[in-house]
Chain A
């Protein structure tokens, strides 16, 4: 009884803090009701708060954050609807951004083409056929200026899916903001900057693991001081899942990678409570609804425990796992593409019930090509319908206390912890990646899945069951094939008009920096400012760091 009273006091304290918080961040409505006028409370709890509940679930906004990282969650503000977009030239992508912002999107998310992601200029021989295809082509600051033209960088937060050359793109963003008159401590956004999962699953690596980890910790250190509102990394399970992993593998390998970044930063002499609050995560939302919800909840609890207990972080912001979610691209079928809208809805719902901070919903036609404007709009509307019409955002962590979901949450955590132990035995995530351990585990799962689908044991509607005889061919998005030529011409002009001496001097300074131990961010910013291209900057680093050639 004595102890129960303590928990009651804790709950009262939570209520007071929440009320205080609501003075600054009020909820969307004075009160929430169902259609039958039943009041919807902010939070539902068991009749008795006991130690097991408080340790495993706790109160929202409090350790271990199983029930969410904010006390009011979506009652105050919906998740950020952040649709990943980018194709063709910077100008075309800028148009799509303006369109999406006008449609009510609340944050930007930039997709870069593969040459940009791998640090090649558009005129490099490896760039043939790839310029502007899976995202926007960025060669120099000039492209970045066009990309962000008329977008108020002090108001809009921008997520950039960029990894190996993350430092270069972040540098460009900082300089563009500066030219807009927005100082670097006012901009907000995210760079993916998660190189380990590139080796495991996504493939856009450039340098070997060691110098790559250095670039990452350099960014951590620089942003802590200069760009404090920037999420310096988005530790991504998304692509691990896309490569064929199970939910538990996705969770385990992502947390393992997260630990590796923390350890690298600690080794570089950074203070955990300075960089850890800016770490963000990125998960996949797949079809199995309850397991996905459990995965998100388990992820928060695992990370909080690791940060507090293993790494002794003191700042509660260091314990919070904040995450972006994207619905599962590999679950989409090329057959009967409209069915994908339904898949995306179920997946998005799991992310919302799981407490995501931001969400990208895939477009129905992504198994066929990049989305058309119509498809991209339906994808955004899906989120808006869930937010405004379904009522699922009106109470915090609505599935808590479900015997099934709590059990799944515990089991998926346990499953993931077993993997973490195994990875520790292999010497941590960097070493496990170098040994190909995660890659093998994922490949094994993905092949088994494929066999199950081909045998018809796993039904994929429209693909191996309920097929249509004559499918109509949908309208698809096309990228202008002449873009590469135009981009190359643009590049020529930049090289002609810039101060060549200054550009090459900055590149030399970067080379010297790369040989030594100085933080590379200021050097890269200077290069960018002098209109050095991404290929030139990464070229210098390639020469100094070497290239990763696969396992």
Chain B
């Protein structure tokens, strides 16, 4: 797998337009997102933009124009890049661009026009995606198998008996209690700062938690790994010889999609894969 790299972007003001509020904001927002940004300053000819982009070895150029000269200037930059064999540099643009000009600009090789009101984070994500796609690198969420520890599951005999320890002695906060009938458990979520604790109480004897407590007594039950693209993850793990308890994701507490790995193939620890991305994006 190719390494993720720091993306370099040239923010440019082509033509004579002096309105650089947007260009400055985007420069700052891309920097805050973790990219390296070079801002050309005002009054750049397409030729100057092309040569700065090549010299600075950037992955993408973002142009901002509010004067109406975009139809003349943006395509010139694309042409210039081609001429210098640098057509792999991704070109995007923004400013006051009438909607009816967008198809023309895209036809000319500008990959994307951001219209007024586009949140800067979307611009950043778009550029990131486009660069990774070009370089054959999986996206951020595809890149790391495990993003974080999502929560730790703790089997308890009774929520009513256990909760006071967490709230009164440890002074943590209760986020909510939920029953998951399919698993025959009642779950309490405790906010422990960077991760959550999930207290699991069996609601009947069929519950796997019941079996667990019978065998091992109450205590740590599982560790949940936060992942994205859970189906893809399951495939990858299976390929690596991991036995899954669940071969397809099922719905767990808090609206997450989950799947357990078998402790036999994971060094004795019961691990859960937990994908909350579909919930977060809603």
Contacts and interface: CB of A to CB of B under 8 A. Distances in A.
Interface string B250-278: 00000000000000000000000000000
Contacts of B85: none
A450 B117 CA distance: 10
Contact of B68 (A460, A463, A479): A479
Contacts of A369: 68, 96, 98
B69 A447 contact: no
A243 B22 CA distance: 9
Contacts, number: 101
B25 A133 contact: no
A129 B17 CA distance: 11
B42 A128 contact: no
B25 A473 contact: no
A330 B69 contact: no
Given A370-B68, A446-B21, A129 B28 contact: no
A362 B170 CA distance: 59
A132 B159 CA distance: 74
Interface string A353-394: 000000000000001111000000000000000000000000
Interface in B12-70: 15-21, 24-25, 28-29, 41-43, 45, 67-70
B116 A114 contact: no
B121 A130 contact: no
Interface string B115-149: 11101110000000000000000000000000000
A443 B96 contact: no
B73 interface: yes
A330 B115 CA distance: 14
A208 to B, nearest CB: 15
B100 interface: yes
Given A115-B16, A126-B43, A473-B99, A450 B120 contact: yes
Contact of B69 (A130, A243, A333): A130
B248 interface: no
Nearest to B116: A334
Interface in B227-250: none
A129 B72 contact: yes
Contact of B117 (A126, A335, A443, A479): A335
Q: How large is the interface on B (under 10, 10 to 19, 20 to 34, 35 or more residues)?
A: 20 to 34
Contacts of A454: 119-121
Interface string A132-145: 01100000000000
Contacts of A120: 16
B211 interface: no
B71 A550 contact: no
A454 B100 CA distance: 26
Given A114-B16, A368-B98, A454-B120, A126 B21 contact: no
B69 A128 contact: yes
A399 to B, nearest CB: 30
Contacts of B67: 114, 130, 133-134
A343 to B, nearest CB: 14
A147 B261 CA distance: 78
A328 interface: no
Contacts of A203: 17-20, 42-43
Contacts of B45: 125-126, 128
Contact of A204 (B18, B29, B73, B115): B18
Interface in B97-111: 98-100
A92 B193 CA distance: 65
Contacts of B15: 114, 126, 128-130
Contacts of B98: 368-369, 476
B25 A447 contact: yes
Nearest to B69: A129
A495 B96 CA distance: 35
Given A129-B69, A370-B68, A334 B20 contact: no
Interface string A210-243: 0000000000000000000000000000000011
Interface in A424-451: 443, 446-447, 450
Nearest to A442: B21
Contact of B25 (A117, A128, A446): A446
A48 to B, nearest CB: 48
Interface in A99-152: 114-115, 117-118, 120, 125-130, 133-134
A334 B115 CA distance: 8
Contact of A243 (B21, B28, B72, B99): B21
B116 A129 contact: no
A422 interface: no
A462 to B, nearest CB: 9
A274 interface: no
A130 B21 contact: no
A369 B120 CA distance: 22
A202 B73 contact: no
B18 to A, nearest CB: 2
B62 to A, nearest CB: 15
A370 B67 CA distance: 9
A129 B21 contact: no
Contact of B42 (A335, A443, A550): A550
Nearest to B44: A126
A242 B16 contact: no
Contact of A242 (B21, B29, B43): B21
A244 interface: yes
Contacts of A242: 19, 21
A133 B116 contact: no
A27 interface: no
10 contacts: A117-B16, A118-B16, A118-B43, A126-B16, A126-B45, A243-B20, A443-B24, A450-B29, A454-B119, A479-B68
Interface of B: 15-21, 24-25, 28-29, 41-43, 45, 67-73, 76, 96, 98-100, 115-117, 119-121
In the A-B complex, the 10 residue pairs with the smallest Cβ-Cβ separation, listed nearest first, are A203-B18, A129-B72, A129-B69, A114-B16, A133-B68, A334-B116, A454-B119, A463-B117, A550-B41, A130-B69
Given A128-B72, A370-B68, 5 more contacts: A114-B18, A127-B16, A450-B29, A473-B99, A479-B68
